[in-house]
Amino acid sequence: MKIYLNPFGLVSSIGSAVCWGTFFVPVRKVNVANICQLQGSTGIGVILFAIPISFFWGFEIVPSGLLSGAIWTAGNILALYSVRLIGLSRTSPFLAGFSILVSFLWGILFFGEKFSYMTLAIGAIGLLLAGLPFITSATKTSTIQRKGYFIAAASGIIGGSYVIPMQATHTLQSGFFSSSLSIFAIGIPLLFLSRRWIKKEIIAGVISGSLFNVGSLFVLIAIASIGITVAYPISQTATLFAVSWGILYFREISNKRNILRVITGSVMILSGAVLLSIA
């Protein structure tokens, strides 16, 4: 299947990148004190955004959507844990890199999506992966940091697959409510298990969940327009926004040399994603 790009699909991909690059900011601001509480309140934000959208896309409950929501929830819990261990500026590039790699492999091996220049596409993936060591070399890697990087990679592998069930069953739009409902249904028990009802953390989670689902809306539209092999990698340029928040706002990295390494690695990841879009 040949992929033809169109401006609407590209703009939608960029919109998802902006939202996904920002959606960790509210929870990072409250220091990710309790993952279960944050995930539970994130689910509330997800369903609050999904309800009005579903008046147009439908409230149909489909198994593929429920499975997608469960996959995303697992990936997001790991991402929250990684942010707590190594910060937003280090977690995001790792998460994005592995998400792009997994979505690329799904598109090529399972969905049969083709590139005009396969050599360029493979080179783009190589550039993307080459950017990851720059992130890890920004600081001396302790046991805790190694654990954080490993968890971020696992989160990316899982997260890069979350739209696959809906893509495979051609239920991208009809599965939107189902995936949101799944995230909400899994999150509520976690919220109760946390035994914490801190207002600022719940509000942060709700805002994050809403931002995530806005990004999901954009990426589903983009995938339908230009295919997962191109749309998902572009959406993962969210890492530049996340890294900017981590460095400029949260001051996670202060040494100029280390900042340069993280930025270099992030730009390499972005460049790989851009090359994928033109390959």
The pLDDT tens digits of the residues spanning 62-112 come to 999 999 999 999 999 999 999 999 888 888 888 878 887 888 888 888 888
217 lies in some domain: yes
The residues facing 114 across adjacent strands are: 2
2 lies in some domain: no
Q: How confident is the model at residue 2 (pLDDT cuts 50, 70, 90)?
A: very low
153 lies in some domain: yes
* pLDDT tens digits along 11-23: 898 899 899 989 9
Global pTM reads 0.84
Q: How far is 49 from 188, CA to CA, in rounded Å?
A: 16
* Residue 230 contacts residue 103 (beta carbons within 8 Å): no
The residues facing 2 across adjacent strands are: 114
213 lies in some domain: yes
Q: How far is 81 from 74, CA to CA, in rounded Å?
A: 11
129 lies in some domain: yes
Q: How far is 63 from 95, CA to CA, in rounded Å?
A: 26
Question: At residue 47, does pLDDT exceed 90?
Answer: yes
Question: At residue 118, does pLDDT exceed 90?
Answer: no
Q: Which domain holds residue 130?
A: 7-278
* pLDDT tens digits along 124-182: 888 877 887 777 766 666 777 889 889 999 999 998 898 899 988 988 888 999 999 99
* pLDDT tens digits along 217-261: 998 888 888 887 778 777 877 878 888 888 888 888 878 888 888
Q: How confident is the model at residue 42 (pLDDT cuts 50, 70, 90)?
A: very high
**Per-residue confidence (pLDDT) for residue 152, from 0 to 100:** 92
SS3 114: strand
Question: At residue 1, does pLDDT exceed 60?
Answer: no
Burial 207-239 (b: 16+ CB within 10 A, else e): bbbbbbbbbbbbbbbbbbbbbbbbbbbbbbbbb
* Residue 184 contacts residue 36 (beta carbons within 8 Å): no
Rg of the chain taking only CA atoms, in angstroms:
18
**Per-residue confidence (pLDDT) for residue 138, from 0 to 100:** 61
Name the domain count of the chain. 1
126 lies in some domain: yes
Residues 6+ apart with CB under 8 A from 165: 63, 64, 65, 67, 68, 71, 175
Supply 277's token pair: 């879009």
98 lies in some domain: yes
185 lies in some domain: yes
